Structure 1
Amino acid sequence: MDKRLMVVDDSAFMRKIISDSIKDVEGIKVAGIARNGIDALEKIDRLKPDIITLDIEMPKLNGIETLKEIKNNYDIPVIMLSSITKTDTTIKALELGAIDFIEKPENLNENLDKFKNELELKVGSLVACKNCTNNERKKISLSNDISKTNAIVIGASTGGPKALVYLIENLPSINIPIFITQHMPKGFTLSFAERLDKLTGARVVEAKDNMKIENGTIYIAPGDFHMRLENGSIKLSKEEKLHGVRPAVDYLFESAAKTYREKLVGIILTGMGRDGTDGMKKIKEKGGTTIAQDEATSVVFGMPGSAIENGLVDEVLSLENISKTLNNILRVK
């Protein structure tokens, strides 16, 4: 049975663009539209949507207030539509429970195909099964001595921002570096880093080229730049996209594996696609420890599922248990 999408936007033009784009996505249909937040809340029980796209800027009841009401009363995945001028609001929406967002280009007519492609990709990822295989996998106990961990790398995509907020706000004090690649457009990663910085006693920064790596700091890869580690510093580049994304998790993981070898812990969180699988392989080859988020707590099981299927994961854990493991690692240090 097709999944049902509700489109919430005050612009008739945007409602048509989204509705027309969804026609090309297998397994989903538009159940209905809403012109503002109040209209959306009145229609949810009748339309029974499985997914909602929600504009941030609307009259009567804006996207943030609408999202709060939806999350308080329903378990429905929400994808926000946001402009670059609303980065702080977008990060707040992700923290409140939106699973992802799609950036509205400043000139939609010139970037219409790109917008449609992103819409189809992100909505389509929620329609597909979380994991296309149901193979049972026996847990493997962590083989490395966590007291020897000198760095942690984390990769995430769809659903990642909320997962990262949970992990970061529950961290104890840290005295090793943590590096994060989250698939996110240019302009949004700075706001995300600033928000995370307020949630923890550690220092959280958007990484810059040639920035010296320091213990006790969490580095976020900037949107539209690949991030690598080299000779004690951050190296950024604008090479071609890998797996259709920039920044790519694989580049971070592969370079970190070379730098920290058996003293590295790699964590792959919720996200679509297979980015991070090759990087996890490099971490394993160098003797590091690998952890993947389990299917039950992943919004999209693509990235962790790919790494698991390829036999590259030492431990499959819920998000809560990943947090506990991180805390154990950092307390031992």
Structure 2
Amino acid sequence: MTPSYSILITSSSFFMREIFKSIFADEEKYSVKIIKDIPDKLDGVSNFNACILELDSDSKDQKYELVKKIIQSYQIPVIIITEAGSDREILHLSRNEEELLFFIEKPSVRFGIMDIKGFQSVLLSKIEEILRYVLTRSKKEHLNQQDFTMLHGQICPKKAIVIGSSTGGIAPLRSIIANFTPKSSLVIFVVQHLPPSFIKTFVQRLSLISKLKVKVAEDDDVVTSGLIFVISPMLSFKLKKVSQNGKPPMITISLQSQTREVKTLSIIDKVMDEVSTFFRENTIGIILSGMGNDGLKGAACIRERGGLVIAQDPSSASMYGMPSEVIRAGLANEILSVDKISLYFASKT
């Protein structure tokens, strides 16, 4: 089989270079070159479809300068392998340039054993995401409807998942998000009760462990399969259908600042209500750890429209208020631990 894509990998660690060799040993569609350092003049970099750089603290600033040059000079997507969170802000990239930058956590170590298989799964999925969302798009300045469908899958996904969580919900949410595999007909909306100033960092950390593209939901975003939208709790969320001159309509996101008058429904309730209005029986709602009853009315909306509701097993939740309210109201089709929620979607979606 002739390789379809070429990837340049750089790591100062001999051990990590050996890991990369083993990961790509049987991946016939990729032609991979693994080196210790990228030349400062970036000789030959333009010949590759993507770059993977392992980031170490000793050369962090230098590597970031190289990343910036690669993206701005050649419009080549870059995956940064790092132990810490992402530092997008210090690169000062434009919005279009930021779409070429991805972060993945280094292989985790548990009980002295490195999780190579987990790292391999995330890395290969992230590369597939790049090929699907970035490579062709970066060469086109304007996209028509057909181009958009080719790059992003279906304009109107067949199924939507809404995940609502609050206090104690970040850890289970990360676990579930990490186990979603790319699906052509699935879109995910995430509502985590957080101050607005934390949302961007939250999205960056989810991106490190997600096999799907994660982004902050913005006004006029097109609801597209294969994406995870994180919605700020301080915004009023709506979906709207946009006609396309005889072509299949698109669903877009409409966001406005919340006012006291519109807070009759809390944000998880509102998102579940709005999403289930459009996706009807193809909506799945997941209620994770949290205090209070946000998500209760939203779960009722999903059930009324024929959708499915999953509540985290209260015995596995740090704060059992939110899932318990849904269970007590008889709205949960399934009551599952976090691990079983992940397994459920591995088999059902």
Q: Deviations for 1:130-189, whole angstroms, at most 9, x for unmatched residues?
A: xxxxxxxxxxxxxxxxxx961111100011111111111122223210001110101211
Partner of 2:316: 297
Q: Is 2:338 the partner of 1:319?
A: yes
Q: Distance in 2 between matches of 1:207 and 1:149?
A: 19
5+ long unaligned stretches in structure 1: 1-86, 93-147
- Distance in 2 (CA, whole Å) between partners of 1:166 and 1:219 is 17
SS at match of 1:296: helix
1:301 Cα deviation (Å)? 0.8
- Report the counterpart of residue 196 of structure 2 in structure 1: 186
1:166 matched to which residue of 2? 175
Distance 1:169 1:259, change over 3 A: same
1:268 and 2:277 correspond = no
Match of 2:230 in 1: 220
Aligned positions of 1:66-81 closer than 5 A: none
CA shift for structure 1 position 297? 1.0
Distance 1:171 1:307 in 2: 24
Within 1, Cα distance between the matches of 2:194 and 2:264? 9
CA contact (8 A) 1:243 1:274 kept: no
- Distance in 1 of aligned mates of 2:254 and 2:266: 12
Is this contact kept in 2: 1:161–1:182, CA < 8 A? yes
Which residue in the other structure is 1:205 paired with? Answer: 215
User: Aligned equivalents of 2:238 and 2:318: distance in 1?
Assistant: 27
- Over the aligned positions, Cα root-mean-square deviation in angstroms equals 2.5
Deviations 1:291-316 (A, max 9, x none): 10011111111111111111111111
Of the candidates 247, 255, 266, which is equivalent to residue 274 of structure 2? 255
Please, what TM-score do these two structures have when normalized by structure 2?
A: 0.50
CA distance in 2, matches of 1:165, 1:222: 17
Higher relative contact order (CA 8 A, sep 6+): 1
Q: What's the CA shift string for 1:234-292, capped at 9, x where partnerless?
A: 12122336998997101100001100001111111110000110010010000001110
1:195 matched to 2:214? The reply is no
Instruction: Give SS of 1:299's match.
Output: coil
Amino acid at match of 2:190: I
How many angstroms apart in 2 are the aligned matches of 1:201 and 1:245?
35
Gapped regions of structure 2 (runs ≥ 5): 1-88, 90-104, 106-156, 242-250
Tell me: CA distance 1:259–1:275, structure 2 relative to 1, closer, same or farther (3 Å).
same
CA contact (8 A) 1:225 1:247 kept: no
- SS of aligned partner of 1:273: coil
- Give the superposition deviation at 1:329: 2.5
Task: Tell me how far apart the structure 2 counterparts of residues 220 and 152 of structure 1 sit (CA, whole Å).
Answer: 12
Tell me, in whole angstroms, the C-alpha distance in 2 between the residues paired with 1:284 and 1:246. 17
- Over the matched positions of the two proteins, sequence identity in percent amounts to 33
**What is the DSSP-based 3-state SS (H/G/I as helix, E as strand, rest coil) of the residue aligned with 2:316?**
coil
User: Distance in 1 between the 2:211 and 2:200 partners?
Assistant: 18
Deviates more, 1:223-232 or 1:281-290: 223-232
**2:329 is aligned with 1:310:** yes
- Name the one with the larger strand percent: 2
Per-residue deviation, residues 176-219 of structure 1 (Å, max 9, x unmatched): 10001110101211111111112122100010011111100000
Change (3 A) 1:297 1:244: farther
Query: Residue 213 of structure 1: SS of its match in structure 2?
Result: coil
Flag the structure with larger Rg.
2
Residues in 2 aligned to 1:246 and 1:282: alpha-carbon distance in whole angstroms: 12
Contact 2:272–2:285 (8 Å) recurs in 1:
yes
Deviations 1:102-152 (A, max 9, x none): xxxxxxxxxxxxxxxxxxxxxxxxxxxxxxxxxxxxxxxxxxxxxx96111
